[in-house]
């Protein structure tokens, strides 16, 4: 190995170490889940996570998901994210290890600027205090903040950037994740001044603006949460079909994540009007159980296609 190759190898190792610290402190759940991957995929997942985490922090003017800072210069912060991301894709040094990490994983796996822009659009929506008017708006939000990351992760796991059907299934997993989060965090989000339930759903329930988390609306809230979980289960099933096309260890990781996040939604639904009296979570022993079941499912690899039409694909969320 020549001097230049040694330098590049050392640079990559340093970026992987940086990314490992980012995921270790930024998300214990994702850090634990990444251990199911083979070493190469694990490192690439860390590199991608570091970029996602850094973009989120810049967009919200925070550190590792901490307290929000001054939100007055959003346009400038998004412009910085796009500038550094473009430099990363061009293979240029950015002066920021997390963006350099993106440059490495993009070059190795074939990630595209369009995929990255889809994720950045999600940071913009959150920072702008955007709210959905209809179910299609809500799903578009879910795509940009989670489905688009799922698409990039699928490419990291070896899916061709041209395999649109499998990437659609990766998007389904992200949609299921975010829909579960929305169901679980309705009251918590409201306390932070955010609402991701479609306005049309609130109108159908005859709920006054800003009043959906009041105690006298808990029955209606539980009904809307159940509606969200029905969508979770549909997209969770579709994601499992896509996982069948992945290498074994990646398939195991995806099926584990799908079961765990699906369980969060189902627990919310089962708790009914009491779902927001305390935070709904999946304990460690239960996560281990889902991981074991996912291992068997990954080994058998005979996932059934969900009944009915799969409504949303990546193309539905991008400008025509």
- Report d(CA 17, CA 33) in Å as an integer: 17
- Report d(CA 78, CA 81) in Å as an integer: 5
Structural domains of the chain ordered from first start: 1-110 (no CATH), 131-320 (1.10.600.10)
Virtual CA dihedral for 106, 110, 111, 114, nearest 10 degrees?
130
pLDDT for the residue 5:
60
For 291, the token pair is 């991981």
279: CB partners within 8 A, 6+ apart: 184, 188
134: CB partners within 8 A, 6+ apart: 198, 199, 200
pLDDT for the residue 1:
55
- Report d(CA 101, CA 44) in Å as an integer: 9
- Report d(CA 293, CA 314) in Å as an integer: 29
How would you write the pLDDT of the chain (320 residues) with one tens digit per residue?
Answer: 565 566 678 888 999 999 999 988 877 777 777 888 899 999 999 999 999 999 988 987 766 544 555 556 788 899 999 999 999 999 999 999 999 999 999 999 999 999 999 999 988 787 667 889 999 999 999 999 999 999 999 999 999 999 999 999 999 999 999 999 999 999 998 988 889 999 999 999 999 878 898 999 999 999 999 999 999 999 998 898 888 889 999 999 888 888 888 899 999 999 999 999 999 988 889 888 988 998 998 898 877 766 666 767 888 887 65
Of 320, 317, 319, which is closest to residue 144 (Cα–Cα)? 317
Phi, psi for residue 304 in degrees, rounded to 5: -95, 140
pTM for the model: 0.89
pLDDT for the residue 84:
97
For 91, the token pair is 């293979």
- 154 C-beta neighbours (distance < 10 Å), count: 29
Got the DSSP string for 126-141?
A: HHTT---SSHHHHHHH
pLDDT for the residue 69:
53
pLDDT for the residue 249:
92
Of 215, 232, 220, which is closest to residue 267 (Cα–Cα)? 232
Cβ proximity of 168 and 142 under 8 Å: no
- Report d(CA 26, CA 226) in Å as an integer: 30
- Report d(CA 279, CA 166) in Å as an integer: 33
- Report d(CA 25, CA 37) in Å as an integer: 19
């Amino acid at each position: 190995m020549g001097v230049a190759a040694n330098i590049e190898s050392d640079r990559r190792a340093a970026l992987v170490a940086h990314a490992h610290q980012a995921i270790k402190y930024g998300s214990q759940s994702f850090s634990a889940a990444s251990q199911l991957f083979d070493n190469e995929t694990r490192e690439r997942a860390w590199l991608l996570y570091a970029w996602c985490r850094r973009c989120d922090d810049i967009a919200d003017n925070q550190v590792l998901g901490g307290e929000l800072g001054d939100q007055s210069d959003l346009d400038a912060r998004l412009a910085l994210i796009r500038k550094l991301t473009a430099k990363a894709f061009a293979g240029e040094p950015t002066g920021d290890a997390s963006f350099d990490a993106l440059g490495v994983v993009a070059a190795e796996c074939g990630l595209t600027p369009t995929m990255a822009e889809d994720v950045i659009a999600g940071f913009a929506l959150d920072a702008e205090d955007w709210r959905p008017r209809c179910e299609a708006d809500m799903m578009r939000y879910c795509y940009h903040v989670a489905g688009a990351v799922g698409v990039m992760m699928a490419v990291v796991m070896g899916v061709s950037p041209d395999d649109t059907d499998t990437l659609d299934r990766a998007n389904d997993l992200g949609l299921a994740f975010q829909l579960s989060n929305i169901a679980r965090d309705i009251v918590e989000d409201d306390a932070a001044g955010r609402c991701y339930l479609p306005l049309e759903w609130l109108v159908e329930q005859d709920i006054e603006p800003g009043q959906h988390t009041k105690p006298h609306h808990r029955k209606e809230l539980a009904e809307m949460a159940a509606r969200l979980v029905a969508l979770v289960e549909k997209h969770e099933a579709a994601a499992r079909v896509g996982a069948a096309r992945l290498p074994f260890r990646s398939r195991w990781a995806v099926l584990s994540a799908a079961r765990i996040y699906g369980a969060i939604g189902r627990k919310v639904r089962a708790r009914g009007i009491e779902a927001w009296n305390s935070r709904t979570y999946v304990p460690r022993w239960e996560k281990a159980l889902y991981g074991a079941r996912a291992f068997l499912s990954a080994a058998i690899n005979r996932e059934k296609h969900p009944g009915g039409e799969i409504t949303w694909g990546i193309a539905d969320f991008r400008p025509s």
